[in-house]
Amino acid sequence: MSDDTKQIIAEKLTVGYGDNILLKEINFNVNKHDIFVIMGGSGCGKSSLLRVLTGLVPPISGKIFINGKNFTGTNQQQKKQIMQDSGILYQSGALFSSMTLAENVALPLQLYRDYTDEQIKELVSLKLALVGLAGFEEYYPSEISGGMKKRAGLARALALDPEIVYFDEPSAGLDPISSKLLDDLILDINHSLGTTIVIVTHELASIFAIGNNSIFLDGTSKSIVGQGNPVEMLKNPPNETVYQFLTRGKQKDAQKTK
C-alpha cells in the first residue's frame, strides 16, 4: 500500500495482551509532517498502541504500513531497518546513566552508521545544540535536570535524522515551564526539519498547543471515538466523552449559555 501523503496507515488494528483486548479493529492515518496526538482516558490503550507502532510488541491482528512498507507483515530484521527512519523519546528519557550525554547520543550513530569518530563527534554536538544543550556533551544524566534529560533523550532520538519521532508522555514529571519549553522544541523540530511527530499525552496544554491531528481512544468501546485537529474537536466535539476529556469535565450546557 502506498500513499505519498500518509506516513503511517493502521488498518483493522487490534491491540492487547492475550485475551485482554484494549483496542479492536481501529483504523487511522498519520500524514507526513503531522504532530499526531494519541489521547484518551487512563487504561484506554494509548501506550500499548505506541508500543505496537514502534514494533516493541506485535498487534493481535491488523496491519501497519510505514512509508508504504508493511511493518506488521515483515521479519524482525526488516522491522529494524524500517525503524531506523524513526526515533523514540521514552517517558523517562531512558538515558544510560553510566554514559555522558555525548556518548548517549553517539550510540545509534555508532551502531547504524559508518562514520568516523570525528564525524560522530561533530554530529553529536550538532544534535545537542539543536535541543539547547550545547556545551553539555561531557555531563552525565545525574548532573542535569529532568527537563534537560528529556531534551538529551530527544537529541539521541534525532541522531539518525529520522522521518518520524515517537513520544511517550514527554511532559511527565516536568514543571509547567519545562513542559512549555519541550512543546516549543517539538514544534520547532516539526517545522524546521519536517519531522512527523507521534505523541502520547494527556496534557491538554500540550495537546492544544502542538497537535494538528489526533485520535481519541475510548476504553469502554475499545475504539476510536474522535479524530482530527484537537482544537476543532473542542469546538465541535463528536461526543460527550471527547468533550468531557478536552474540557476537564466542564458542563457542556453551562458553557453554551451566553
Distance CA 150, CA 160 (A): 17
Written as nine digits, the cell of 164 is 518520524
- Residue-wise pLDDT for 44-68, tens only, equals 999 999 999 999 999 999 999 999 9
According to DSSP, the residues that pair with 20 across neighbouring strands are 17
Distance CA 176, CA 146 (A): 12
Tell me: pLDDT of 258 over 60.
no
Look up the pTM and report it: 0.91
Q: Are 195 and 164 in contact (CB under 8 A)?
A: yes
Distance CA 150, CA 144 (A): 10
- Residue-wise pLDDT for 175-220, tens only, equals 889 899 999 999 999 999 999 999 999 899 999 999 999 999 999 9
Q: What does each C-alpha distance from 105 to 100, 110, 111 come to in angstroms? A: 9, 9, 11
Q: Where are the extended beta strands (E) located within the chain?
A: 6-17, 20-31, 35-40, 61-66, 69-70, 86-89, 164-168, 196-200, 213-218, 223-227
Distance CA 43, CA 19 (A): 16
Q: What are the structural domains, with CATH classification, of the chain?
A: 33-51+85-251 (3.40.50.300)
